[in-house]
Amino acid sequence: MKRILNYIGGELVPPLGGAYLPNLEPATGAPYSEVPDSDSSDVERGVAAAQEAYPVWSRTPASERSRLLLRVAELIEDNAEDLARAESVDTGKPIRLARSLDIPRAASNFRFFATAILHFASESHATDHRAINYTLRRPRGIAGLISPWNLPLYLLSWKIAPALATGNTAVAKPSEITPMTAYRLSELCREAGLPPGVLNIVHGTGPKAGAALTGHPRVGTLSFTGGTKTGAEIASVCAPAFKKVALELGGKNPNIIFADALLDEVVPVSIRSSFDNQGQICLSGSRIFVERTIQEKFLERFVERAKTLVVGDPLEEATEQGALVSRAQFDKVMSYLQVARQEGGRILCGGDAASVGGRCSGGLFIRPTVITGLPVNSRVNQEEIFGPVVTVIPFDTEDEAVSGANATPYGLSASVWTQNLSRAHRLAERIQAGTVWINCWMLRDLRVPFGGVKSSGIGKEGGLEALRFFTEPRNVCIQFPVDPGGGTAS
Ligand code: NDP
């Protein structure tokens, strides 16, 4: 069985303790590879390698760092089909999605930050006629990068690329549930000629390898994407050590549809925002608010389409819905379907596991599920389910839509569908979310700030925000020479 290796100091190495965990294919339920069960000694090695590489890498010209990262992007593109297949097998997502979203975006992440660093400038402030202040931005040292299982290469590269572009070295820990494309990336980084120790990837579980990385005294910068509970744990470790932390956490995002919206556009995009990646996207619109006058019309079309989504082998071209990522995630989603019934929800479609025959008969599939009849404060409408499950909630007024949208602890993203521009602006201002999409969903421009508010996280990634996050601003103040007459020289 294929063994994944850690990437430390430019080498692919086994974990020091020699322990491995089985890596399962969610579509079959069977193990197909093994992932290192690394511990603090492996993290220590990774940090030591990152530290050794730091003095040279942090002084390497931006043009050279850019060249190497562009080479990684090219290699991802050259290997796109292999990577898409690997991502699909590892996560259970349809290969179509891995091909169209995950892998192209991983290449774009490298390309974007490789070129952004060439244009990154800092500020200067003239203080009357007395002095000039300028901001020196320097890399912060060793960055710890921890990513989740839902968009494995996409989210890992979103952290690696800006960390390295700005001259930091890094130790990354991908989710142990979906390690394969991170492993493939380490092979590609070797092929690209990335100097040893600039990027290190240590595989293993959160409580063991992840916690060792978070708590490591020489890792002063921590970028984490994952669940809100884990984020709180990480924050509590980092705060007393005064580490710089960005936390991209969970969401319970509203998708708000007004009566004047164009249903021909709303329905297909809402199907995607509800069920793409089996609903396991932090930005999924899991609570659909529909103006009451069009609720019936919307539901008729939306449910009809949800019922026809092809649930099947992720490796088949026709498949639209693959498997849930793990037994734990499958059980969690199934338990929420039970909660929905207990809370009095009406299940219009789905609501149960799907059986896919053949090689996938042991797989973890759940049919796309649409639920109505649950109040905004029900558990199903408050807690992140992270599966192919959405609720539909009617509203009568704009105020009601806004208060419903804001009525969870989360604040990651929102979609608003309306032809009324003034209303769109009003909602964009009133909804508590890091991103508000008007008449669209997941339309991403890598230059914009990205991140959540409230329990969806702190700190922003994306574009200049990421370059700022991974650098430390230092103010340098230069006083103008004083002229003999007592003033400053002009
Ligand atoms: P988790 O929080 O369980 O895990 C995320 C990562 O953290 C994994 O690599 C995990 O390791 C690691 N980890 C777990 N415990 C610790 C710890 N104590 N110290 C350090 N690292 C730890 O999230 P999931 O993997 O379950 O991902 C799903 C969640 O991610 C959802 O809530 C989703 O909303 C959120 N998410 C947020 C995004 C955003 O941009 N805001 C984007 C995508 C997802 P391992 O799993 O290997 O044990």
pLDDT of residue 481: 84
Q: Is the pLDDT assigned to residue 340 strictly greater than 70? A: yes
Contact predicate 161/145, CB 8 Å: no
Ligand 1 pocket member 51 (CB < 6 A): no
Whether 320 is catalytic: no
Distance of CA 75 to the CA centre of its chain: 22
pLDDT (mean) for 288-293: 98
Q: Identify the band that residue 339 occupies on the pLDDT scale cut at 50, 70 and 90.
A: very high
248 ligand 1 Cβ < 6 A = yes
486 or 245, greater pLDDT: 245
Residue 237 three-state SS: helix
Closest CA relative to residue 330, chosen from 38, 91, 86, 5: 91
pLDDT of residue 184: 98
Mean pLDDT of 356-374: 97
Distance 151 CA to ligand 1 centre (A): 11
**pLDDT tens column, 47-104:** 999 999 999 999 999 999 999 999 999 999 999 999 999 999 999 999 999 999 999 9
Mean pLDDT, all residues of the chain: 97
459 lines ligand 1 (CB under 6 A): no
- Is the per-residue pLDDT at 489 higher than 90? no
Torsion of CA 301, 304, 307, 308, to 10 degrees: -100
Ligand 1 proximity of 148 Cβ (cutoff 6 Å): yes
Given this model, what pLDDT does residue 466 score? 97
Nearest to 9 by CA among 194, 147, 230, 145: 194
For residue 290, what are the β-bridge partners?
Answer: 257, 394
Using the predicted structure, report yes or no on whether residue 483 has a pLDDT greater than 80.
Answer: no
Q: What is the pLDDT of residues 115-128, one digit of tens each?
A: 999 999 999 999 99
What is the atom index within ligand 1 of the atom nearest the CA of 412?
Answer: 41
What separation in Å is there between the alpha carbon of 402 and the centre of ligand 1? 29
Given this model, what pLDDT does residue 322 score? 98
Does the structure show a pLDDT above 70 at 484?
Answer: no
Name the pLDDT band for 471 (thresholds 50, 70, 90).
Answer: very high
pLDDT at 482 over 80: no
Tokens 């219009």 correspond to 348
Residue nearest to ligand 1 atom 19, measured at CA: 211
Q: What average pLDDT score do residues 205-232 get?
A: 98
Instruction: Based on the residue annotation, tell me whether 282 is a catalytic residue of this protein.
Output: yes
351: three-class secondary structure by DSSP: coil
| 234: confidence class by pLDDT, cuts 50, 70, 90 | very high
Given pLDDT bands bounded at 50, 70 and 90, which one contains residue 223? very high
Q: Looking up tokens 């558990």, which residue turns up?
A: 379
Binned at pLDDT 50, 70 and 90, residue 485 comes out as low
For residue 42, the cross-strand partners are: none
Look at residue 392 and tell me whether its pLDDT is greater than 70: yes
> What residues does 73 pair with on adjacent strands?
none
Laid out side by side, the sheet with 124-127 consists of: 124-127, 131-139, 471-479
Pairing between β-strand 389-395 and β-strand 287-291 as defined by DSSP bridges:
parallel
For ligand 1, the distance from its centroid to the CA atom of residue 312, given in whole angstroms, is: 26
Helix pair angle (152-165, 180-192), 10° resolution: 40
Contact of 303 with 346, CB cutoff 8 Å = no
pLDDT of 487 = 56
Tell me: pLDDT of 488 over 70.
no
Q: How far is the CA of 231 from the centre of ligand 1 (A)?
A: 8
